[in-house]
Amino acid sequence: AQKLTVLGLESSCDDTAAAVVRQGGQGAEILSSVVYGQTELHSAFGGVVPELAARAHAEKIDLCVAEALDRAGLTLGDLDAVAVTAGPGLIGGVLAGVMCAKGIAAATGLPLVGVNHLAGHALTPRLTDAVSFPYLMLLVSGGHCQYLIARGPEEFTRLGGTIDDAPGEAFDKAARILGLPQPGGPSVEAEAAKGDPRRFRLPRPLLDRDDCNLSFSGLKTALLRARDQIVTEKGGLTRADRADLCAGFQQAIVDVLASKTRRALGIYLQEAPAVPVLAVAGGVAANSAIRTGLETVCADLGVQFTAPPLKLCTDNAAMIAYAGIERFARGEQDDLTLAARPRWPL
Ligand code: KG4
Ligand code: ZN
């Protein structure tokens, strides 16, 4: 059979992205992957401003597509389909991508394939490592935190997830509380490496509960209180105080994720998968303490651990093109009535 070549578009949050991916025997081949970030655009506001994001996506998405095709050395005529994130996400941004993809489909006659952004993340281990279904997926980013058993390109069983903040969001808020630069994950991790995780014993919410749900907002409040107490007592934070707070905070997140992952793996392993695999994706998967914590649990339970390279863990269009390939290869596609959906649970 001929290998499918698919263009993917992504614009659901603060990255405008386009990529060309070609189907392969083992996973797939990324012919190009272009990401225009918007970090600077939103930096003064302490978060993504939806209206600004949408305008920037609308301005950049076509340039991004042109660049992705150019880098792949292809034209629209070489493609088999156009895949686009149709949700969930900030609706203005999702619309910019969907309208661009519809324009391409209408002009060229190429099939249009709508992709769920979360499915894009969740299928990435198949793109990079040709992992077989069923595998357990932990999505941990600034916006997501959930356990999924991936059974097929569009079949996911959600075992649980955060009931409040996502871990990346917690890292970002922790950085704000301690006066460290954004994004908070890398700066808190760097400080934590110099600190003592035992000095501040921060809470590990929901560990007593026999499910796969997580909570991180109480941890942030506890960090705020610990900081305020030091400031009241000593008039300010020393470098050591800050490092110890970061270390205690990160350790609490590592412990919660390790413990809940053990529980989720227990449920997944009941299905006796031939090759049990835990895959992680999302920006927080960059954290080496968290990775080590997860690897330890996996080694303990005889489960293979895999994490895509970081640039495929964070938002990108290669994962959307690949998820499009999986849908299209099963004979599925959309027409020009494809809707952009702000909410779209897997
Ligand atoms: O997947 P991502 O790029 O964007 C979405 O949220 O969709 O993830 C970004 C998040 C940010 O909250 C950032 O602080 C966090 O991932 N992050 C980290 C690390 N690097 C990035 N969190 C912990 N440790 C890190 N090394
Ligand atoms: Zn994402």
18 and 87 co-located in one domain: yes
Residue 227 confidence class, pLDDT cut points 50, 70, 90? very high
Known binder of ligand: residue 57? no
Give Cβ neighbours of residue 260 (< 8 Å, ≥ 6 apart): 147, 160, 206, 207, 212, 213, 214
- pLDDT at position 259 is 96
Residue 42 lies inside a defined structural domain of this protein = yes
105 and 125 co-located in one domain: yes
Q: Is the CB of 14 under 6 A from ligand 1?
A: no
Taking each helix axis as running N to C, give the angle between helix 239-269 and helix 184-192, from 0 to 180 degrees, rounded to the nearest 10: 110
Distance, C-alpha 110 to centroid of its chain: 28
Residue 66 confidence class, pLDDT cut points 50, 70, 90? very high
Pairing of strands 28-37, 81-87: unpaired
- pLDDT at position 149 is 98
Please count the structural domains in the chain. 2
Are 195 and 246 a contacting pair, CB within 8 Å?
yes
Q: Is the CB of 282 under 6 A from ligand 1?
A: yes
**283 Cα–ligand 1 center, Å:** 4
101 and 164 co-located in one domain: no
Known binder of ligand: residue 117? yes
**333 Cα–ligand 1 center, Å:** 32
Q: What is the mean pLDDT of residues 257-277?
A: 97
Are 27 and 8 a contacting pair, CB within 8 Å?
no
109 and 196 co-located in one domain: no
143 and 231 co-located in one domain: yes
Residue 20 lies inside a defined structural domain of this protein = yes
Residue 301 lies inside a defined structural domain of this protein = no
Question: Among 37-41, 122-126, 188-192, which stretch is predicted with the lowest mean pLDDT?
Answer: 37-41
- pLDDT at position 1 is 61
Residue 241's CATH number: 3.30.420.40
Per-residue pLDDT at 267 exceeds 70: yes
Give Cβ neighbours of residue 119 (< 8 Å, ≥ 6 apart): 153, 154, 156, 323, 346
> What is the Cα–Cα distance from 168 to 145, expressed in whole angstroms?
9
Residue 145 lies inside a defined structural domain of this protein = yes
Burial degree of 131 (CB within 10 A; 0-12, 13-18, 19+): buried
107 and 219 co-located in one domain: no
Ligand 1: residue whose CA is nearest its atom 16: 283
- pLDDT at position 144 is 87
Residue 282 lies inside a defined structural domain of this protein = no
Atom of ligand 1 nearest to the CA of 171: 14
Residue 292 lies inside a defined structural domain of this protein = no
**142 Cα–ligand 1 center, Å:** 5
- pLDDT at position 251 is 97
Are 52 and 133 a contacting pair, CB within 8 Å?
no
Residue 317 lies inside a defined structural domain of this protein = yes
175 and 90 co-located in one domain: no
**239 Cα–ligand 2 center, Å:** 33
Q: Of all residues in the chain, what percent carry a pLDDT higher than 70?
A: 99
ipTM over 0.90: yes
190 and 259 co-located in one domain: yes
Residue 300 lies inside a defined structural domain of this protein = no
Q: Is the CB of 170 under 6 A from ligand 1?
A: no
148 and 267 co-located in one domain: yes
Q: Within 13 Å and on the Cβ side, how many CA atoms surround 133?
A: 13
**pLDDT for 67-99, tens place per residue?**
999 999 999 999 999 999 999 999 999 999 999
93 and 139 co-located in one domain: no
**pLDDT for 87-131, tens place per residue?**
999 999 999 999 999 999 999 999 999 999 999 999 999 999 999
- pLDDT at position 2 is 82
In the chain, beta strands by DSSP E: 5-10, 15-23, 28-37, 81-87, 112-116, 135-140, 145-152, 155-161, 277-281, 304-306
Task: Give DSSP secondary structure letters for 325-344.
Answer: HHHHHTT--B-TTPPP-S--
Q: Is the CB of 88 under 6 A from ligand 1?
A: no
Per-residue pLDDT at 47 exceeds 80: no
Q: What is the mean pLDDT of residues 138-167?
A: 95
161 and 116 co-located in one domain: no
Q: Is the CB of 283 under 6 A from ligand 1?
A: yes
143 and 267 co-located in one domain: yes
- pLDDT at position 22 is 98
Q: Which of 14, 137, 146, 171 to mutate to test the pocket of ligand 1 (most atoms within 8 A of CB)?
A: 171
**pLDDT for 272-296, tens place per residue?**
999 999 999 988 999 999 999 999 9
Residue 195 belongs to what domain range? 135-274
Average pLDDT, the chain: 95
